Amino acid sequence: MPRLNRETVAVTGNEAVAEAMRQINPDVVCAYPITPQTEIVQLYAQMVADGKVTSEFVTVESEHSAMSAVIGSAAAGARTMTATSSQGFALMWEMLYVAASYRLPIVMTTVNRALSGPINIHCDHSDTMGGRDTGWIQLYGENHQQAYDNCLQALRIAEHLDVRLPAMHMYDGYVISGAIGPLVMLPDAKAREFVGPYHAINPLLDVANPVTVGPFDGLHGWYFEHKVAQNRAMDRALTVIQGVADEYAEISGRPYGLLDPYRLEDADIAIVVVGSTAGTTRMVVDKLRTRGVKAGMARVRVFRPFPHEAYAKALEHVKVVGVLDRADSSGAQGGPVFLEVRSALYDSDPRPQVLPFIYGLGGRDIFPDDIEHAFAQLEEAAQSTRRSSIERRYLNLREDK
């Protein structure tokens, strides 16, 4: 890794995560390659071969098998991790629900890539947004540093005794995964101290205390109660996520919240955005501020569980909120993030207008001018005496050219 200075190294996003995994040194990693995630497990497999970690690396024949293997490993009592993208994520589909219902603290890196079809290998958020109700905690990162930081924090969150749910953390394919960016790592000893030792709960291999994993839970069973318990654990995760972030800030100097606000305190108009586009949006906010426009931004960090109260508080004074989704929700009024933000603000008095924007599907570029165009629509809505219609607004769509 090239060094930019004594502390900062230049890495790809995938290298950043592989380094976080090296510091964690999980008991088991099960994986199958898929672009643009492949580099993570390729690098980690080399670390295993070089003796830099003691993990058992299991190569499998598909992503469905990868998730099946990590379920077995975690149920047996091992600290377990994996990684995937796009169609691989989709192939895991039924097993994602199983991992969550078994309350297994698996951590998975998912490098965001569009779902086919048509066939596309570039970035959007349709893969993980499609899995938002599988019962996994979801953390979204903006850049290389957040990919690394979220990986370490995801493990602590998933393994917390008030949670015990699987967690996935995401960042944008190619834009972050394959591009070079700066990273400041924790010292190995400090990272391992932060992560701490793993304590298995009711492991299958504890033969002195036998348990059953995956029994039939039918009509007269406890399926309903198990699902309620699972969802209550997800609710408790919000407090745990913030607690872990506060602890991480003490050792890293990098604070994290449930969302990342920018110049929102006096904003009249604001954009909510996920992933690497947040950096471009900040630049546009600063440009508009020099013109006297009271613009702001909120970057989505935690999407599951969705921190409704945090968004309601951060945006309650804003006149018009635009939500930029890099995934669509067919048949709904807008994209997945729009639906959550609008619901969070429903009880605000006065209630901000919330307008849906769709951008970047299949890796389509998003430019500062596109975001300025979105802000212009928010300004127009804020100055109007009538509420704007709730219809999708597409950014950088060719039919608009």
Each domain of the chain, given as residue ranges in start order, spans 8-252, 259-400
Q: How many CB atoms lie within 10 A of CB 178?
A: 16
Q: pLDDT tens for residues 274-297?
A: 999 999 999 999 999 999 999 999
Residue 82: pLDDT over 60: yes
Whole-number Å distance between alpha carbons of 123 and 114: 5
Give the model's pLDDT for residue 2: 77
Give the model's pLDDT for residue 4: 66
Give the model's pLDDT for residue 364: 97
Q: Pick the closest to residue 322 from 284, 376, 361, 277 (CA basis).
A: 376
Q: How far is CA 90 from the centre of its chain?
A: 16
Residue 311: pLDDT over 60: yes
Query: In sequence order, which residues have a C-beta less than 8 Å from that of residue 97 and are 6 or more positions away?
Result: 134, 135
Q: Whose structure tokens read 């969802």?
A: 231
Segment 184-196 mean pLDDT:
97
Segment 342-357 mean pLDDT:
96
Segment 10-31 mean pLDDT:
98
Query: Considering the chain, what percentage of its residues have pLDDT values greater than 70?
Result: 99
Residue 399 banded pLDDT, cuts 50, 70, 90: confident
Average pLDDT, the chain: 96
Residue 367 banded pLDDT, cuts 50, 70, 90: very high
Residue 390: pLDDT over 80: yes
Whole-number Å distance between alpha carbons of 289 and 307: 27
Residue 16: pLDDT over 80: yes
Q: Pick the closest to residue 183 from 156, 140, 139, 146 (CA basis).
A: 146
Q: 152: which 2 tokens?
A: 């370490």
Residue 390 sits at the vertex; the CA angle it makes with 355 and 292, to the nearest 5 degrees, is: 30
Residue 94 sits at the vertex; the CA angle it makes with 93 and 97, to the nearest 5 degrees, is: 95
Segment 26-35 mean pLDDT:
97
CB of 36 closer than 8 Å to CB of 128: no
Residue 270: pLDDT over 90: yes
Residue 93 banded pLDDT, cuts 50, 70, 90: very high
Residue 5 banded pLDDT, cuts 50, 70, 90: low
Query: Considering the chain, what percentage of its residues have pLDDT values greater than 90?
Result: 93
Q: Whose structure tokens read 């009880």?
A: 347
Q: Which helix (H) or strand (E) holds 170?
A: strand 167-172
Whole-number Å distance between alpha carbons of 13 and 16: 5
Q: Which helix (H) or strand (E) holds 246?
A: helix 223-252
With H, G, I as helix, E, B as strand and everything else as coil, classify residue 309: helix
CATH pick for 8-252 out of 2.60.120.10, 3.40.50.970, 3.40.190.10, 3.40.50.12780: 3.40.50.970
Same fold, 8-252 and 259-400: yes
Residue 131 banded pLDDT, cuts 50, 70, 90: very high
Give the model's pLDDT for residue 186: 97
Q: Pick the closest to residue 127 from 105, 110, 145, 103 (CA basis).
A: 110
Residue 108: pLDDT over 90: yes
Residue 325 banded pLDDT, cuts 50, 70, 90: very high
Segment 123-128 mean pLDDT:
98
Residue 78: pLDDT over 80: yes
Q: Pick the closest to residue 356 from 372, 339, 368, 371 (CA basis).
A: 339
Task: List the single range of 79-88, 309-318, 387-396 with lowest mean pLDDT.
Answer: 387-396
Give the model's pLDDT for residue 400: 60
Going by their DSSP bridges, the two strands 80-84 and 137-140 should be labelled as unpaired
Whole-number Å distance between alpha carbons of 144 and 176: 6
Residue 33 banded pLDDT, cuts 50, 70, 90: very high
Second-level CATH architecture of 259-400 = 3-Layer(aba) Sandwich (3.40)
